[in-house]
């Protein structure tokens, strides 16, 4: 439904989007995740025909965003970041105006407005000027506008920013409902947000695509990185040496904690059983043994901070960094969920 | 066509929701009223004509018209609504035309208000309706050109005041400068200033003549300014 290949966008010398390729299948909810300034909005603006890419191409529902821009705009419902609206218009007037721009005749338009208003809980404010509405209501007006023409593709830029927790939950529920008959792409810089709503996550950082997959896949990718925490009493040097000898252990850090040795162990597999047996065998008391599963949050933070330190985004653990030049030829496989 | 109408309608709604529209319209009527008074157009014994009022009107319009059109595109940039507008299935030309027609419709309404002077003259005297008609045709044509320039100015900035200045200053220069300079230079420059002398071109209409050259001048400049405005709007995408 949405296809992007090698998109690049420069603002003068600044590279906002650097060789991004992805494919989004029909009916998916895809989260576009990245820290502020990662290039999410720029990518979205290319997809919604607001700005052309410097190079690369994108297609929505089979139409090229540059050459068949009007056809793309007709099938896309777009809610920009911060939801720009005309404050002097009433909600109904605004939705009518947008309906007319979408080429709807009077009866379809009124039916569409009624449906959108009901879906976005706008009935209470339909005749109020937009300028008087709270942030939450404005957000809903923007969403109602994006939904008005029942678009195949919904693109929402930071849909829950500035909402209170109850409104965030309502919006998420609505987005999940919408995915039943729309393809939804939403951007966010908040991971739990994306994790809660999306079937697929595309993480971008510094204009590059750094990881992509379902939340489960991403989590799986990092589960190998899980840490074991253990506290054992005994000669510290021996303990570290013995543990290091266990299969799959790559790194052991130990520190003394009131007479005990606190170990944090990086291992490829779950070695709790072996570790317990080792402690029993040696006669070392064992008072704690747990596996710390890395969260997507850790993953996200790691990607973002790692890229920042190295000055080069890596694909995360288990995936070597991909050079854009090489990725060009096999764009789709790289990111298909 | 429907898109243009929708944009025009929305634009008019916004115009009438803002105080600027009322200030502008009141200002224009006030100034034309003062003009009618200082030119002694209603004195007993004077010919029943508004020629002297019409003569000076384009100068007033150089300031008034950019004030009508200044918000049209600049405000879209400022509020960010340009993003929803330009991602709706409408072309850049439709956006510009819709906004242009709205500003022009407002202008026509404003001009129509001055017909009241003619009606008064009809009550107290015997005005030359043919000449008045020519003058109104002239005003409509001047409006086409000036409004297009105002829209172009508005497309260049996201600040309404800057848009107003960008619109008013060049128009003022065209109207005042060309008008005063044209008699003081010779040869090529005289030719050149005669071509762009808006006041001179308009004065034909004020005297009751409809010159084809003047009609073409106002229509082509309007088309040129609108074309440039569309190009400016398009170029925004590439920045």
Distance in Å, alpha carbon of B234 to nearest chain A alpha carbon: 10
C-alpha A157/C-alpha A142 separation (Å) is 11
Rounded CA gap, B47 and B10, in Å? 43
The whole-number pLDDT of residue A222 equals 65
Question: Looking up tokens 């020629």, which residue turns up?
Answer: B51
Contact B14 A86 (CB under 8 A): yes
Element (H, E) at B196: helix B187-196
Interface of B with A (CB under 8 A): 2-3, 5-7, 9-10, 13-14, 17-18, 79-91, 237-239
Q: Report whether pLDDT(B109) > 90.
A: yes
Give the count of beta carbons closer than 10 Å to the beta carbon of residue A213.
Answer: 17
pLDDT of residue A223: 58
Residue B101, min C-alpha distance to chain A (Å): 16
Domain boundaries defined on chain B: 2-238
Contacting residues of B for A76, CB less than 8 Å apart: 87
pLDDT at A337: 33
List the beta bridge partners of residue A3. A23, A59
Of A50, A77, A48, the residue nearest A143 (C-alpha)? A77
Q: Give the pLDDT confidence score for residue B127 in this predicted structure.
A: 79
CB contact under 8 A, B6 and A11: no
**How far apart are the CA of A182 and the nearest CA of chain B, in angstroms?**
18
Tell me whether residues A78 and B6 touch, CB distance under 8 A. no
- Cross-strand bridge partners of residue A23: A3
- Taking CB atoms and an 8 Å limit, are A80 and B84 in contact across chains? yes
Pick among B88, B90, B97 to test the A interface (most A CBs inside 10 A): B88
Q: Which residues of B touch A50 (CB under 8 A)?
A: 83, 86-87, 237
- Inter-chain contact B80–A145, Cβ cutoff 8 Å? no
- All structural domains of chain A, each given as residue ranges with its CATH number in brackets, are 2-221+304-335 (3.40.50.300), 226-292 (3.30.70.100)
Question: Token pair 């170990």 is at which residue?
Answer: A263
Contact B90 A86 (CB under 8 A): no
Residue A322 confidence (pLDDT): 40
The answer to whether the CB atoms of A80 and B13 lie below 8 A apart is: no
Checking if the pLDDT of A227 tops 80, the result is no
- A24: β partners: A2
Give the C-alpha separation, B185 to A288, whole Å: 99
Span B160-173, average pLDDT:
93
SS3 labels along chain A:
CEEEEEEEEEECCEEEEEEEEEEECCCCEEEEECCCCCCHHHHHHHHCCCCCCCEEEEEECCEECCCCHHHHHHHEEEECCCCCCCCCCEHHHHHHHHHHHCCCCHHHHHHHHHHHHHHCCCHHHCCCEHHHCCHHHHHHHHHHHHHCCCCCEEEEECCCCCCCHHHHHHHHHHHHHHCCCCEEEEEECCHHHHHHHCCEEEEEECCEEEEEECHHHHHHHHHCCCEEEEEECCCHHHHHHHHHCCCCEEEEEEEEECCEEEEEEEECCCCHHHHHHHHHHHCCCEEEEEEECCCHHHHHHHHHHHHHHHCCCCCCCCCCCCCHHHHHHHHHHHHCC
Report the C-alpha gap between A53 and A40 in whole angstroms.
13
pLDDT at A226: 65
Which of B15 and B207 is assigned the larger pLDDT? B15
Which residue, among A8, A44, A50, would best test binding to B if mutated, counting the most B CBs under 10 Å from its CB?
A: A50
- Residue A74 contacts B, CB cutoff 8 Å: yes
Q: What pLDDT band is residue A336 in, cutting at 50, 70 and 90?
A: very low
Average pLDDT, chain B: 88
Average pLDDT over residues A145-165: 88
The values of phi and psi at residue A21, to 5°, are -130, 135
> Which among A52, A78, A82 has CB closest to B87?
A78
User: Closest Cα of chain B to A336: distance in Å?
Assistant: 27
* Contact check, Cβ <8 Å, A80/B239: no
In angstroms and rounded to an integer, the radius of gyration of the C-alpha atoms of chain A is 25
Q: Nearest residue on chain B to A70, judged by CA atoms?
A: B89
Position B156 scores a pLDDT of 94
The pLDDT of A229-244, averaged and rounded, is: 84
What is the mean pLDDT of the segment spanning B151-162? Answer: 94
Q: Which of B5, B13, B89 sits opposite A73 (nearest CB)?
A: B89
User: Angle at which helices B212-238 and B51-79 pack, to 10 degrees?
Assistant: 10
Of the candidates B103, B105, B109, B130, the residue with the CA atom closest to the CA atom of residue B48: B130
For residue B239, list chain A residues with Cβ-Cβ distance below 8 A.
Answer: 11
Mean pLDDT value across residues A124-146: 92
Count CB atoms within 10 A of the CB of residue B212: 7
B237–A70 CB contact, under 8 Å: no
Question: Which residues in chain B touch residue A93, judged by CB atoms under 8 angstroms apart?
Answer: 10, 13
A75 touching chain B per CB within 8 A: no
- Higher-pLDDT residue of A295, A311: A295
Angle at B38 between CA B36 and CA B39, to 5 degrees: 65
pLDDT at residue A320, rounded to an integer: 40
Does A88 lie at the interface with B, CB-CB under 8 angstroms? Answer: yes
In chain A, residues with a C-beta closer than 8 Å to the C-beta of B83 are: 45, 50, 80, 84
């Amino acid at each position: 439904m949405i296809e992007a290949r090698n998109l690049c966008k420069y603002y003068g010398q600044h590279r906002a989007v650097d060789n991004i390729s992805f494919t989004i299948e029909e009916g998916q909810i895809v989260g576009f995740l990245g820290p502020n300034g990662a290039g999410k909005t720029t990518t979205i603006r290319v997809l919604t025909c607001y700005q052309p890419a410097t190079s690369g191409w994108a297609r929505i529902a089979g139409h090229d965003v540059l050459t068949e821009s009007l056809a793309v705009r007709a099938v896309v419902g777009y809610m920009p970041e911060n939801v720009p609206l005309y404050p002097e218009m009433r909600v109904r007037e605004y939705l009518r105006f947008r309906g007319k721009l979408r080429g709807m005749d009077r009866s379809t338009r009124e039916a569409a407005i009624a449906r959108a208003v009901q879906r976005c809980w706008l009935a209470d404010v339909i005749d109020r000027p937009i300028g008087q509405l709270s942030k939450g209501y404005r957000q809903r007006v923007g969403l109602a506008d994006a939904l008005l023409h029942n678009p195949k593709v919904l693109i929402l830029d930071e849909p829950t920013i500035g909402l209170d927790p109850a409104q965030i939950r309502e919006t998420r529920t609505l987005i999940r409902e919408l995915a039943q008959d729309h393809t939804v792409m939403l951007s966010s810089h908040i991971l739990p947000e994306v994790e809660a709503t999306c079937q697929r996550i595309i993480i971008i950082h510094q204009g590059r695509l750094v990881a992509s997959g379902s939340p489960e896949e991403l989590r799986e990718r990092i589960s190998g990185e899980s840490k074991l925490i253990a506290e054992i009493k005994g000669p510290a040097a021996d303990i570290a040496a013995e543990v290091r000898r266990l299969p799959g252990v790559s790194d052991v850090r130990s520190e003394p904690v009131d007479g005990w040795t606190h170990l944090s162990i990086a291992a490829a597999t779950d070695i709790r059983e072996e570790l317990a047996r080792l402690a029993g065998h040696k006669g070392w008391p064992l008072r704690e043994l747990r596996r710390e599963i890395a969260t997507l949050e850790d993953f996200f933070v790691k990607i973002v901070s790692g890229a920042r330190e190295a000055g080069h985004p890596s694909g995360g653990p288990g995936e070597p960094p991909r050079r854009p030049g090489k990725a060009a030829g096999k764009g789709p496989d790289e990111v298909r969920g | 066509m429907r898109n243009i109408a929708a944009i025009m309608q929305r634009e008019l709604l916004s115009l009438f929701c803002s105080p600027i529209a009322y200030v502008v319209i009141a200002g224009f009527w006030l100034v034309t009223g003062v003009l009618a008074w200082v030119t002694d157009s209603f004195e007993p014994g004077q010919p029943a004509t508004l020629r002297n009022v019409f003569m000076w009107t384009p100068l007033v319009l150089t300031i008034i018209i950019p004030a009508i059109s200044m918000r049209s595109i600049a405000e879209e940039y400022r509020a960010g609504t340009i993003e929803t507008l330009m991602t709706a299935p409408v072309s850049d030309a439709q956006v510009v035309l819709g906004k242009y027609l709205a500003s022009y419709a407002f202008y026509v309404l404003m001009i129509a208000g001055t017909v009241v002077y003619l009606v008064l003259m009809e009550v107290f005297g015997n005005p030359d309706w043919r000449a008045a008609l020519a003058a109104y045709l002239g005003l409509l044509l001047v409006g086409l050109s000036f409004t297009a320039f105002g829209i172009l100015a508005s497309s260049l900035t996201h600040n309404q005041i800057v848009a107003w200045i960008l619109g008013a200053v060049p128009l003022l220069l065209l109207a005042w400068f060309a008008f005063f300079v044209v008699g003081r230079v010779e040869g090529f420059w005289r030719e050149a200033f005669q071509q762009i002398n808006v006041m001179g071109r308009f004065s034909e209409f004020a005297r009751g003549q409809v010159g084809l050259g003047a009609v073409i001048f106002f229509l082509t400049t309007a088309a040129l300014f609108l074309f440039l405005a569309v190009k400016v709007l398009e170029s925004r995408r590439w920045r």
